[in-house]
A and B are shown apart, each in its own frame.
Chain A
Amino acid sequence: MNEKAPAMQDQDEAHDESTPRDELAELRRQNEDLLTKLKYLQAEFENYRKRVDRDAEMVVKFAHELLLSRLLPVLDEMDAAVVALEGKAGEGVRMVRDNLVKVLQEVGLQEIPSKGRVFDPYEMDCIEQVPDPEMKDGAVKSVVRKGYRLHDRVLRPAQVIVVKNRGETNG
Chain B
Amino acid sequence: MAKIIGIDLGTTNSEAAYMEGGTPRIIPSAEGSAYGGKMFPSVVAFTKDGILVGEPAKRQAVLNPDRTVMQIKRKMGTDYKVRIDGKDYTPQEISAMILRKIKTDAEAFLGQPVNQAVITVPAYFNDNQRQATKDAGKIAGLDVLRLVNEPTAAALAYGLDKKGEGKIAVLDLGGGTFDVTLMEMGEGVFEVIATSGDTQLGGMDMDNTSSSGSPPSSAPSTAWTSRATSRRCRGCATRAKRRRSN
A interface residues with partner B (beta carbon < 8 Å): 40-41, 44, 47-48, 50-51, 69, 119, 121-122, 124-129, 138, 144-145, 153-154, 156-157, 159, 161-162, 164, 168-171
B209 contacts chain A at the CB level, 8 A cutoff: no
Chain B stretch 215-243: residues in CB contact (< 8 A) with chain A: 226-228, 231-232, 235
Tell me whether B59 is interfacial, beta carbon within 8 Å: yes
**In this complex, what residue of B is CB-closest to A39?**
B1
Find out whether the CB atom of B232 lies under 8 angstroms from the CB atom of A170. Answer: no
Report the stretch among B8-16, B45-53, B97-105, B145-153 that lies at the interface. B45-53
Tell me if A121 and B59 are in contact (CB < 8 A).
Answer: yes
Q: In whole angstroms, what is the CA distance A122 to B34 when docked?
A: 11
CB distance from B57 to the nearest CB of A (A): 7
Residues of B in contact, count (CB < 8 Å): 33
Q: Hey, what's the 0/1 contact readout for B187-231 against A, CB within 8 Å counting as 1? A: 000000000000000000000000000000000000000111001
Binding site for A on B (CB under 8 A): 1, 20, 31-32, 34, 36, 45-48, 52, 55-57, 59-64, 66-67, 85, 109-112, 226-228, 231-232, 235
Nearest CB on A from B88, distance (A): 17
Q: Are B228 and A127 in contact (CB under 8 A)?
A: yes
Measured CB to CB, the nearest residue on chain A to B56 is: A121
Contact B34 A156 (CB under 8 A): yes
Lowest 4 CB-CB distances: which A-B pairs, in order? A121-B56, A127-B231, A128-B228, A121-B60
The answer to whether B227 and A171 have CB atoms under 8 Å apart is no
A61 to chain B minimum Cβ distance, whole angstroms, is 14
Identify B232's interface contact among A50, A127, A154, CB under 8 A.
A127
The answer to whether A47 and B63 have CB atoms under 8 Å apart is no
Closest CB-CB distance, B171 to chain A, in whole Å?
29
Q: Are B59 and A157 in contact (CB under 8 A)?
A: yes
What would 18 A/B residue contacts be, using CB atoms closer than 8 Å?
A: A50-B111, A51-B109, A51-B111, A69-B36, A119-B60, A121-B57, A124-B59, A127-B232, A128-B228, A144-B228, A154-B31, A157-B59, A159-B235, A169-B64, A170-B48, A170-B64, A170-B67, A171-B67
Q: Nearest chain-B residue to A69 (Cβ)?
A: B36
- B67: chain A residues at CB < 8 Å are 170-171
- Which residue of B has the minimal Cβ distance to A128? B228
